[in-house]
Copies of this chain bind each other. A is one copy, B any other.
């Protein structure tokens, strides 16, 4: 039964902690580890075992999920001194649900493969709400066979699990997601600001344009923030920029010119410097408001 498969979850941040809880709820035996060990305590109270290192966590599990902040963190957790690679048995499946570099992903997968440790890159979208409610969208790179081994487990974490292709393609898909998010939010920001400067009834404007070719998740769900000039989370701007940097690096490596994504990255740099980095990404409209002489 997959229900009792021991699963290690390394990285108990905003995403990882609720994911660990969902695995416990689904009946899995969960081993948790976090660099700041105190974060393990609430999970232990909920029934998880604690492990003192990624190595120890991996030694106790057949599937290892990593959910940490950035590429160097995954490298350290997987390949570092007390890394997963030193604890994982042959046949273990490592599922990296962090958002990191696609090329670094391919390098790490190759190192793990030498020890017969399987690897899936499986970044997510849907944010902390999605992590909490088990409604993440999971974009998976790696072999279909490895994905099938962990699919029941991933089903406890997300409701859309898409196998994109070989190792790294999950991360590339996440990069594409963040590029499109950047441009779509920005498009809404330009349009909303024009209407606000003209003094239009913006709720009517959104209603009029929202169901046609201008329609988007961003217009439906984030134009309200832009109109109110209030940006509750949501998706933190500095985290989007971190992901966007990965996407821009990938575009550069692949030789793809992405001027709009680059522009939004620059705008985010300015807004983060002004102290807005912990607001929802829709706060990129502040830049358009500012240049239009509106309150920002």
Contact = CB atoms under 8 A, between A and B. Distances in A.
A177 B288 CA distance: 17
Contacts of A188: 180, 183
Contact of A181 (B139, B180, B214, B255): B214
A229 to B, nearest CB: 15
A194 B260 contact: no
Contact of A215 (B176, B190, B217): B217
A197 B164 CA distance: 15
A256 B201 contact: no
Q: How many copies does the complex hold?
A: 2
A180 B173 contact: no
Interface residues of A, number: 69
A275 interface: no
Interface string A198-231: 1111001101110111111111010000000000
A254 interface: yes
A242 interface: no
Interface string A96-110: 000000100000000
A179 B194 contact: yes
Contact of A184 (B102, B184, B251): B184
B257 A292 contact: yes
A212 B190 CA distance: 21
Interface string A270-296: 000000000000000000100111000
A198 B164 CA distance: 12
A175 interface: yes
A179 to B, nearest CB: 5
A43 B261 CA distance: 48
A137 B212 contact: yes
Interface of A: 102, 125-126, 137, 139, 160, 162-165, 169, 172-173, 175-184, 186-188, 190-195, 197-201, 204-205, 207-209, 211-219, 221, 235, 247, 250-251, 254-261, 263, 288, 291-293
9 contacts: A137-B211, A164-B204, A164-B205, A165-B200, A173-B208, A176-B191, A194-B250, A213-B221, A256-B291
